[in-house]
Structure 1
Amino acid sequence: MMSVLLGWVLALLWVSAAQAEVLVQPDFDAKKFSGLWFVVSMVSDCKVFLGKKDHLLMSTRAVTATAEGNLRVHMEFPGAEGCHQVDAEYLKVGSEGHFRVPVLGYLDVRVVDTDYSAFAVVYIYKELEGALSTMVQLYSRTQEASPQALKAFRDFYPTVGLPDDMMVLLPKSGACSAGAKEAP
């Protein structure tokens, strides 16, 4: 029993140390980050994601910065039965560009790289169905990611232990209104 407990403690310490090494965008500006983003690519070790990744479509995020430094995010996910919409508040944790989203089980969200006008690389450490997982998403202001954006994304996700075979480029979909609604 003691060895199992020690194993869990060491695993939690390793996870905390690994997360601490993920840096956020220097001088992150939430107001510049606001607006419509398309999620054009994702990579994750989440078992649910891996089981569905070949059927996922491009989704959107309409982001609005709050005065407190949080982000209000309206998400639209196309699916077989139309457009699924979710609203969430990304709560600022410590430094700018670092958030948590309790309502979605996101324990740690970091904007690790962005030029604000074309792309962003977003790191997410989450809990889903009792399992912890890592995800990296590539946001683009258009439905076509630039070569610079793809390079930043592909250069980053291996640094958090995610291999190429867990990555998917998401096909476009007309099922949603392209995120036209602003975040609440």
Structure 2
Amino acid sequence: MQATLLSILGLALLGALHAQDSIPIQADFQQDKLTGRWYSIGLASNSNWFKEKRHLMKMCTTIISTTADGNLEVTSTYPKGDQCVTRNSLYTKTEQPGKFSYTSTRWGSKHDIRVVETNYEEYALVATQISKSTGPSTMVLLYSRTKELSPERLERFTQFSREQGLTDDEILILPQTDKCMTDAA
């Protein structure tokens, strides 16, 4: 019985590792071109917090800058009720350009972050595999340099999210807002 359970757990772990390895990373990733202001246009996730908060979510701004040691500082400002909330995250670079790690001590989670594709001037598609004690989850973000993107880019985000196993009710094009959009770049 115990051996069967261990082999099932082993297969599940191998499956999870294979799933992470199947997520592509932008070829010839150029980190300096990713810096600057972005708007979060789309968000897809199978996490419980997303399911609970999805109806409250709006577009937000994200400023990406490079730290002295080559990591990414990611500062997102979003509307929450009648105020603007800013969240800072430090994405630690890995040996593979375009792949980062982040640990949230607040939520007890580890994040494997991959810049899947970008043209740096218009959009960026980012996939995150999240591991925490309550189980794994997947998140896909669509960033844009402007508050609007072409239907083709929106469809690519939806298609990629589905490829990651997310369902249509786990995929959200964030409603536009002017609230909290005037932070300094």
Structure 1 length-normalised TM: 0.89
Taking the aligned partners of 1:163 and 1:178, their CA distance within structure 2 comes to 33
> How far apart are 1:62 and its partner, in Å?
0.1
Taking the aligned partners of 1:179 and 1:91, their CA distance within structure 2 comes to 24
> How far apart are 1:66 and its partner, in Å?
3.3
- More divergent stretch after superposition (62-71 vs 27-36): 62-71
Task: Tell me the equivalent position of 1:78.
Answer: 79
**Is 1:99 paired with 2:97?**
no
Name the CA shift for 1:24/1:130 in 2 (closer, same or farther; >3 Å). Answer: same
**Is 1:123 paired with 2:127?**
yes
Q: 1:1-184, aligned counterparts within 5 Å?
A: 1-103=2-104, 105-127=109-131, 130-180=134-184, 182=185
Taking the aligned partners of 1:91 and 1:6, their CA distance within structure 2 comes to 33
> How far apart are 1:89 and its partner, in Å?
1.0
- More divergent stretch after superposition (45-54 vs 32-41): 45-54
> How far apart are 1:158 and its partner, in Å?
1.8
Unaligned runs of 5+ in 1: none
Unaligned runs of 5+ in 2: none
> How far apart are 1:108 and its partner, in Å?
0.5
Q: Deviations over 1:75-114 (max 9, x none)?
A: 1121114111111111112211100111363421001011
| 3-state SS in 2 of match to 1:171 | coil
Letter of the 1:168 counterpart? L
RMSD between aligned alpha carbons? 1.9
Percentage of matched positions with identical amino acids = 34
State whether residues 41 and 174 of structure 2, in contact with CA within 8 Å, keep that contact through their aligned partners in structure 1: yes
Taking the aligned partners of 1:73 and 1:52, their CA distance within structure 2 comes to 21
Taking the aligned partners of 1:13 and 1:128, their CA distance within structure 2 comes to 17
> How far apart are 1:43 and its partner, in Å?
1.0
Paired positions, count: 181
State whether residues 38 and 61 of structure 2, in contact with CA within 8 Å, keep that contact through their aligned partners in structure 1: yes
